[in-house]
Amino acid sequence: MRDDQLPAPQPHACALLSRELGEPVAGTASTQSAWLLLEQPGPWGRVAAHESRLDPALGAELDGRTAGTGVRLCLIRRPEDDRHEHEPARRRWFAAATHPERTWLATGEVAHPTELLKIDFARLDAGDRRAVAELEHSFLDTPIMGICTNGKRDACCTTLGRRVVVAADALDAAACAAVGGPPAISAPPTIWEITHLGGHKFAPTGVLLPFGYLYGRLDAALAARVLAEARGDRLVAAGCRGRSTWERPGQAAELAVRGELDEWQPAAVLVGAVEQTADEPEPAWRAVVEHHDGRAYEVSVKGSHAAVARPESCGKAEANPLELRVEAIDKIR
């Protein structure tokens, strides 16, 4: 199906309802210490690693290797590769560690995806570069972005995400050509379709690697700008859901401090201790956020359940999601 043949989102689609209700995006990213991406053209099912043209036994084995770690396995494909019938001779892979003090992005190609079983998943979880030592690889100094188009998981990711990824890919290619000519032949593409990232209701969603920042409510211009700014070692505040390195309260606290200081260099801010100070029905947390220049801030984060029920995902029953808001930022050092 061409992008101009994609159906429009229905009025009751989860992403449209979330936007109309003004649901905050900060503090909504999934929590992962590291990401492993494997190129797999063709259609993806709801549980993509088990329901695609990838050998389901291998998908299950890779999933099993991530169990008990903070590594998230995702499939990727280039825009328009959802219909390709061929099996690629070689497949691109990426591994990313997201902690500000251990941030890196490695890539390579494999003749068969079973080669990814050579990765040391415990080391990848810990941000140790030796995790990929058994594979032919290189470390990249430029970021990549994955935009979710996994429509079998949620319809919003197809009807909203596909248009964005195709247009953003074109914008990014044009911008790169304008400033420095075509990329090196050996350089991998920087924008990919990706499987489920969490948070369908914020579709179109994307992940910026290696930093691990998730974005929501993307359009093509914003996606291209996020990637362009990241090449200059800067984040974009608009649509940022949080860094997957931290738990949700820490994500909200970090973004609030960044906004207060107008500090958008990725490695400049760390989330330290996060302490829960109140439980349901209105949980609360106290987080310490540290700047690399020695300043530190105590951030009060409060959770409250949305007053208006809505589906967390298309086709699911309505619920009142927990929304996080920062109530106070106090400098402690």
Q: Could you report the per-residue pLDDT of 278-296, keeping only the tens digit for each? A: 999 999 999 999 999 999 9
- Over residues 67-98, the pLDDT tens digits come to 999 999 999 999 876 666 667 889 999 999 99
Count of domains forming the chain:
1
| DSSP three-state, residue 298 | strand
Per the domain annotation, does 258 fall within a domain? no
15 contacts: CB under 8 Å, gap ≥ 6: 9, 156, 160, 200, 201, 202, 203, 217
The gap from C-alpha 167 to its chain's centroid, in whole angstroms, comes to: 19
Quick one: average pLDDT of 42-50?
91
Identify which of 38, 37, 43 has the alpha carbon closest to the alpha carbon of residue 82: 43
| Residue 193 maps to a domain | yes
pLDDT band at 12 (very low <50, low <70, confident <90, very high): low
Cα gap 271→324, rounded to integer Å? 16
For the chain, first and last CA: distance in Å? 56
> Does residue 214 belong to any structural domain of this protein?
yes
Residue 263 is assigned to a structural domain of this protein: no
Amino acid at 58: L
Does a structural domain hold residue 295? Answer: no
* Average pLDDT estimate for 37-46: 94
**The dihedral formed by the CA atoms of 259, 320, 160 and 234, expressed in degrees to the nearest 10:** 20
Span 185-217, pLDDT tens digits? 568 999 999 999 999 899 999 999 999 999 999
pTM: 0.94
Helix, strand, coil percentages in the chain from 3-state DSSP, rounded to 5: 30, 30, 40
Whether 316 shows a pLDDT value over 90: the answer reads no
Residue 131 lies in a domain: yes
Cα Rg of the chain, angstroms:
19
Integer Cα distance of 186 and 246 in angstroms: 33
Residue 224 placed within a domain = yes
Report yes or no on 180 lying in a domain: yes
Domain residues for the domain of 144 are 1-246
- Kindly tell me if the per-residue pLDDT of 31 is higher than 60: yes
Q: How far apart are CA 201 and CA 311, in angstroms?
A: 8
User: How far apart (Å, rounded) are the C-alpha atoms in residues 189 and 145?
Assistant: 9
